[in-house]
A = this chain, B = another copy of it.
Amino acid sequence: MEKNCRYVAGAPFPYQYKYEHMAVTTDCIIFTYDERTLKVLLILRGGEPYKGCWAFPGGFLRMDETAREGALRELREETALVPEAIRELGVFSAVDRDPRERVITVAYYALVKPSAVVGGDDAADAAWFPVDHLPELAFDHRQIFAAAMERLRRDIHFEPLGFDLLDERFTIPDLQRLYEIILGTQFDRRNFQRKILASGILEEIPMPEALGEEECERSVPRFMSMDDVPVEKSRVEQAKKRPGRLASLFRFKKEKYAEMKREGDKYEF
């Protein structure tokens, strides 16, 4: 087979090809839900182009990794996050989307719990932004973001994505608020409760256990949006704030959902 490329060790431009090649990058749109707000993770760009602009974490794809692996690697390097699952969002390939050279990007999106946001050292310039208050974004990342929001809205109907955005234990009203934010609609409180419970994927956490909140080490959010102050919202504090009956805590029954999927029962919201 005729070779179309060669490597010239020591040359200033050692990778040489018969035909022009483009660069391939990956980008990750990471959502979380905290303080009743849907947020995405952005990185402040330290170098050109778009220096000083915010952008989604990502970078050039290596030769020895798949696009998915590359996306996860860049995300880990830049933010120390390791989401349970990332989903392919699509390819963005406008010819002039990067001023340096022809670059196409494979975008992924993922959902993380607020409690998953810990550690990560080389990411002094990472921050969470509410989805409706994004700064100016580098490259075509505004367009990528729009695609991610639309996709999230579509996918949440058929997969219990909301639970990936909430902490281990959550209340149903909280879950409802999340769905309302994502879908931009309002639901009847009572019907929502019944519907979500009827699906059988929730498990109530009995009271005694629910009260033992103090022992549960709550990790402090690692990245904060600009003018944020970390707020510890234990069940007790939540109760102290405003009147009204305390909501019960629930857990997502992962195994039950996995079983439903195996059996072919389709989850739908």
Taking beta carbons and an 8 Å cutoff, which residues of A are in contact with B?
1, 4-6, 11-24, 48-49, 60-61, 63-68, 88, 90-91, 93-95, 99-102, 104, 106
Contacts and interface: CB of A to CB of B under 8 A. Distances in A.
Given A5-B101, A91-B106, A95-B64, A13 B20 contact: no
Contact of A21 (B1, B15, B93): B15
Contact of A104 (B19, B20, B67, B90): B67
A14 B106 CA distance: 27
Contact of A23 (B12, B21, B88): B21
Contact of A63 (B17, B20, B91): B20
A5 B16 contact: no
Dominant SS at the A interface? loop
A237 to B, nearest CB: 40
A24 B25 CA distance: 12
Nearest to A6: B13
Contacts of A14: 16, 18
A47 to B, nearest CB: 10
12 contacts: A1-B48, A1-B100, A14-B18, A15-B21, A16-B16, A19-B23, A22-B24, A61-B104, A67-B91, A67-B93, A68-B93, A88-B91
Contacts of A12: 18
A11 B11 CA distance: 14
Contacts of A64: 95
A15 B21 CA distance: 8
Given A65-B95, A67-B104, A49 B1 contact: yes
A49 B64 CA distance: 21
Given A1-B49, A48-B1, A91-B106, A15 B22 contact: no
Contacts of A21: 15, 17, 21-23
Contact of A95 (B16, B18, B66, B95): B66
Contact of A17 (B15, B24, B65, B66): B15
A101 B2 CA distance: 11
Contacts of A101: 4-5
Contact of A20 (B15, B68, B88, B99): B15
A61 B1 contact: no
